[in-house]
Amino acid sequence: MKKVLIVGKNSFYYSEVSKLLKNNFLIYEISHLDINTNLFPEIKKWDIILIFCRVKKSIFFNRLFFNYSSELFILLSSRILDLPNTYRFYSYYKEKLQVENWFKSYCKNSLIIRSGTLEGGCPVYSKKNQFIECVTNSYNDTISLDLFSKHLILPNFLYRKLFSIKYIYILLRPFDIFYKYRPNFIYGYVYAISKHLIIKN
């Protein structure tokens, strides 16, 4: 059974897929704070290192790759990066793009899995089984998980009309805050994803 090191043991996404991963791999876990020291020196080279935690600085990858060696590094990223780059002014878009660029610059034997929120957590979501399949049959590339939708409620007509105008989404943040507290409404970049990316019902 392949040895897999999880970086980001406290992440919500990992908590949702951990049981399935443990059915397929021999799992070891660390938090993002443990990358400065090798906690498992007896394992010289991992089969897979799977990164779930949020990365804020490029030095994270420097330290991780210095202390841990692996046949393959996998980074969990977001489907937001499959949107047209006209949406690059969303801070989440910029953050995820920067992290992917850092990751690719530090690591050649790598796989990036772009996912939505997992099923049960959002009206637009990806499925756990497809994530596990990508990890199990992993290879060096960038993979975008399918998106599905249910109980999806669109913003009002004015919001949708304004959103359709290029770059106007930047001015809609007050409306986004309003919709944030209304269950099952989609807004902001999730609404953009529902417009531009294939959604399977």
pLDDT digits (tens, 9 = 90+) for 140-180: 789 999 999 887 889 999 999 999 999 999 999 999 999 98
pLDDT category, 198, cuts 50, 70, 90?
Answer: confident
pLDDT tens digits, one per residue of 13-38: 999 999 999 999 999 999 999 998 89
Taking alpha carbons only, the member of 92, 100, 90 closest to residue 51 is 100
pLDDT value at 139 more than 80: no
Taking phi over 0 as left and psi of -120 to 50 as alpha, with beta for the rest, 167 belongs to left
Give residue 121's pLDDT.
65
Per-residue model confidence (pLDDT) at position 200:
62
Residues linked to residue 48 through DSSP beta bridges, in sequence order: 4
Residues 41, 12: Cα–Cα separation, whole Å = 27
pTM of the predicted structure, to 2 decimals: 0.93
Transcribe 16-58 into DSSP letters. HHHHHHHHHSEEEEE-GGGTTS-S-TT-SSBSEEEE-S---ST
- Cα→Cα distances 196→43, 64, 85, 87, 190, Å: 44, 35, 12, 11, 10
Q: What is the pLDDT of residues 44-100, one digit of tens each?
A: 999 999 999 999 999 999 999 999 999 999 999 999 999 999 999 999 999 999 999
Confidence of residue 201 (pLDDT cuts 50, 70, 90): low
Edge-to-edge strands, sheet with 110-115? 26-30, 3-7, 48-51, 73-78, 110-115, 141-144
Domains of the chain: 3-149 (3.40.50.720), 157-200 (no CATH)
What is the length of the chain?
A: 201
pLDDT value of position 107: 86
